[in-house]
Structure 1
Amino acid sequence: MHTDTGACVRAVRAKDARFDGWFYTAVLTTGIYCRPSCPVVAPKPQNMVFHPSAAACQQAGFRACKRCRPDASPGSPEWNQRADLVARAMRLIGDGVVDREGVPGLAARLGYSTRQIERQLLAELGAGPLALARAQRARTARLLIETTALPMAEIAFAAGFSSIRTFNDTVREVYALAPSELRARAPHPGRAAPGALTLRLPFRLPLNPDNLFGHLAATAVPGVEEWRDGAYRRTLRLPHGHGIVSLTPKPDHIACRLILGDLRDLTVAISRCRRLLDLDADPVAVDEQLGADPVLAPLVAKAPGRRVPRTVDEAEFAVRAVLGQQVSTAAARTHAARLVTAHGEPVHDPEGGLTHLFPAPEALAALDPESLAMPRTRRTTFTTLVSQLADGSIHLGVDSDWAETRARLLDLPGFGPWTVDVIAMRALGDPDAFLPTDLGIRRAAGELGLPSTPAALTARAAAWRPWRAYAVQYLWATDSHPINFLPV
């Protein structure tokens, strides 16, 4: 979008928050860059240039606005609605791969050369993988500076910097303030308790929390997830350890409280929580298209801004999808809870009732199949899946190629269209995944006068592309199932 100067100027003049994260405005006369909704008086058009990323602004020599804090805007919805190389690379960078494995590690995961990755990212985002990762480190550093009392040296390494000097230089360059000055300007510096971080996760309005949190709470696996005091809480398996997160819906943000075993996992934890709640979606674009259908229009008008509840662990979700085949939500939770108790890693939760991490594929691949209380055919489906996840034959992650992964899953015994599509929708993040064979969808279709057979419904749903996963949420919402209601 940043190449459409006229549209960008109109968005800046209107201070339209819908475009925050889509592009950034760099002001030639001040040397700062802002989000489109920055509250200051809009500069003259001839003094504005537009960039596709904060990293590109920083590379061009601009510093972040102290008023609108462009680094705190929602991420671009592009990276979670596409499956091409650039989108997969951006999801991996958000998951901290460059900090942990370097650019060669990023390229190896994607199956391209480092030169190809750098060329593609530069062409679309105006910055290469190192610059994008550097901008992300700067955001993490600012968050730790302003919300904790940690010493600056600990913050530097927790944010992923290789030295104190690099940390100091980057913060000064990006924010035009020394780290100590940033802390002094914070409204409540050092307010988080030891071992815990409290932060706000922004999103684009509107957001309907009912199906989002209702689904997560209704399907929560005891010991791994819980709904407590108005918050969805769960354990997290992270690169350097484990964590516990509490997520509470608020009118204009999600309140996030993190307890981490290793602060180096902060960036990854935030990225996974945002992905879980689909917080980088563009609900206006989704609802405009779905609302153009006369059948869906009343559903969209009644409760706009529905998101697709996703996952923090793709392999975990695939396992749970198999456990949920042809059984009730309660039965699926019971099966999963037994696995957690027997094979999950214990964790200590000082603020609630969480007890375990969900078992890793390696642990599940080692269990005795006869111990599984399920039909033999589903047992075979389960053991085949976990063994292939454990040995890498099937890879589920933010970098997955959606079409290739679908094909691999369909080759597994017991994997039909429903299982593959629900994994595509909630684990892979495909915004166009559709569930025409789902009983709830077929029931809703019948009540709304839509075709109820899978083939006919799929043909009718062509007009909803590329947002059919969101149409699924609106169709599910016609039922009185607990997944559609925010828990009391």
Structure 2
Amino acid sequence: MNCHPAQTAWFTEQMPARTPLTVDLSAPHPYDAPGIFSFLAARAIAGVESTDLTDPCRLVYARTLALPHGTGSVEVTARRRGGGGAGRGGRAAPWTLTARVSAAPEDVEEAARRLRRLFDLDTDPHVVDSALSSDPHLTPSVHAHPGLRVPGAADAQELVIRALVGRQISVAAARTHLSRLAARLGSPCDSPFAGLSRIFPTSAQLAQLPPSPGRGESLDPDRPLRLPRAGVEAVRGAARALADGAIDLGTDEGAPPDAAALRARLLELPGIGPWTAGYISMRVARDPDAWLPGDVALVAGARALGILPAAQGRATAREHRALADHAERWSPWRSYAVLHLWRAAGPPGAAPGTPPARLEP
């Protein structure tokens, strides 16, 4: 299915679930479906997203969407051809991706376009893997995980808020905060797909979060977002900027925003530093060459891959500088190198896409 431009609007009214339409999502081979589905599963917001990864040859991710003509929902299924055995030449059998879309007919192509962006389906994996495997430190990871993808954003405004909430806490803690926020402020949404019941709050709704109490005043234990004052104010400020159109997240035709301009604008907002701006650029602007300064999981991954000397304890400023210098050789594909390092940083036996907590410096 070809995806055509669609105007962006934000609707939160409750609409009845429609009969899903099946859409083919052509995936380039090799395609690291387990990596990207596990990444999304680790961050899934209750009610807004659901996943089923129990069958290693059939992976499912579903979510609700605010679309130009109303609310909708999608369910993406990745299946390994041949049931998971090796293909010709002993290589792993390729994955096929299909989506079921429950939305207004006018929104089906828009939903498919967002899914292609979310699952990074339009990048040539051979170009990326060839470039990164030229570094002998990354070669084992590239060979172990060919076609590793960088997740995009199905909802750009939502991703900005997610990045702000998760910037100084673990992936699991961010998921808890965001799930509570969706349950409290998100709008109800009927969906034919299991586990989906809410639309993530709009920027206008989040801009109305109660302000943080002043010094000496106690925090309301029942508040929707239970972050420290600085974190709440950062979310409120970004939500206001998004609601007012002060942050460019792309055109109505679906083209991503300019990555450098987006980072510069984000850094002007209170509470947003280089890590957050880089992460948003990577996932919203689809910047293939984003780098996340100060990310402790990147240092852990670099230690594991032998890029930095093996060490214990907290990452040092010297290690961050050395890794940033080394990463220059991965340009223009540093975003993909980030995913390889995160993968290497995960504890033994952890699902791919679940690195340690990352800290905004």
Which TM class, normalised by the smaller chain length?
A: 0.7 to 0.9
* Amino acid of the structure 2 residue aligned with 1:470: Y
Give the alignment of 1:77-476 within 5 angstroms.
Answer: 94-97=4-7, 195-228=19-52, 230-251=59-80, 252-260=95-103, 262-370=104-212, 371=223, 372-397=225-250, 398-451=255-308, 453-476=319-342
Q: CA deviation at 1:294?
A: 0.7
Identity of aligned residues (%): 41
Distance in 1, matches of 2:147 and 2:172, equals 28
Q: 1:485 to 1:413 in 2, by over 3 A?
A: closer
Contact 1:347 1:354 in 2 (8 A): yes
RMSD: 2.2
Q: CA deviation at 1:349?
A: 2.0
Deviation string for 1:185-240 (max 9, x for gaps)? xxxxxxxx972111221021100112200010010000100113731010011100
Secondary structure of the residue that 2:65 maps to in structure 1?
strand
Contact 1:365 1:387 in 2 (8 A): yes
Contact 2:33 2:78 in 1 (8 A): yes
Deviation string for 1:280-327 (max 9, x for gaps)? 110000000001111001111111100001111111001011111211
Q: 1:433 to 1:300 in 2, by over 3 A?
A: same
Deviation string for 1:253-285 (max 9, x for gaps)? 20211111x110011000000000000110000
* Amino acid of the structure 1 residue aligned with 2:41: A
Secondary structure of the residue that 1:207 maps to in structure 2?
coil
User: Normalized against structure 2, the TM-score is what?
Assistant: 0.79
Distance in 2, matches of 1:221 and 1:435, equals 23
Contact 1:95 1:272 in 2 (8 A): no
Q: CA deviation at 1:483?
A: 5.2
Secondary structure of the residue that 1:484 maps to in structure 2?
coil
Q: 1:483 to 1:310 in 2, by over 3 A?
A: farther
Contact 1:206 1:283 in 2 (8 A): yes
Distance in 2, matches of 1:483 and 1:416, equals 28
**Which has the greater radius of gyration?**
1
Distance in 1, matches of 2:112 and 2:146, equals 25
Q: 1:483 to 1:241 in 2, by over 3 A?
A: farther
Query: Between Structure 1 and Structure 2, how many residues are aligned?
Result: 302
Distance in 1, matches of 2:277 and 2:165, equals 13
Runs of 4+ in structure 1 off by over 4 angstroms are: none
* Amino acid of the structure 2 residue aligned with 1:96: A
* Amino acid of the structure 1 residue aligned with 2:76: L
Q: Which runs of 5 or more structure 2 residues have no equivalent in the other structure?
A: 10-16, 54-58, 81-94, 213-222, 309-317, 355-361
* Amino acid of the structure 2 residue aligned with 1:238: L
Secondary structure of the residue that 2:270 maps to in structure 1?
coil
Distance in 1, matches of 2:301 and 2:118, equals 25
Q: 1:196 to 1:477 in 2, by over 3 A?
A: same
Larger helix share, 1 or 2: 1
Contact 1:216 1:483 in 2 (8 A): no
- Which residue in 1 is equivalent to 2:219? none
Contact 1:343 1:359 in 2 (8 A): yes
Larger relative CO (CA 8 A, sep 6+): 1 or 2?
2
Distance in 2, matches of 1:352 and 1:240, equals 22
Distance in 1, matches of 2:236 and 2:23, equals 39
* Amino acid of the structure 2 residue aligned with 1:306: L
* Amino acid of the structure 2 residue aligned with 1:236: L
Q: CA deviation at 1:409?
A: 0.5
Distance in 1, matches of 2:211 and 2:176, equals 17
Mapped pair 1:479 → 2:336 = no
Contact 1:217 1:483 in 2 (8 A): no
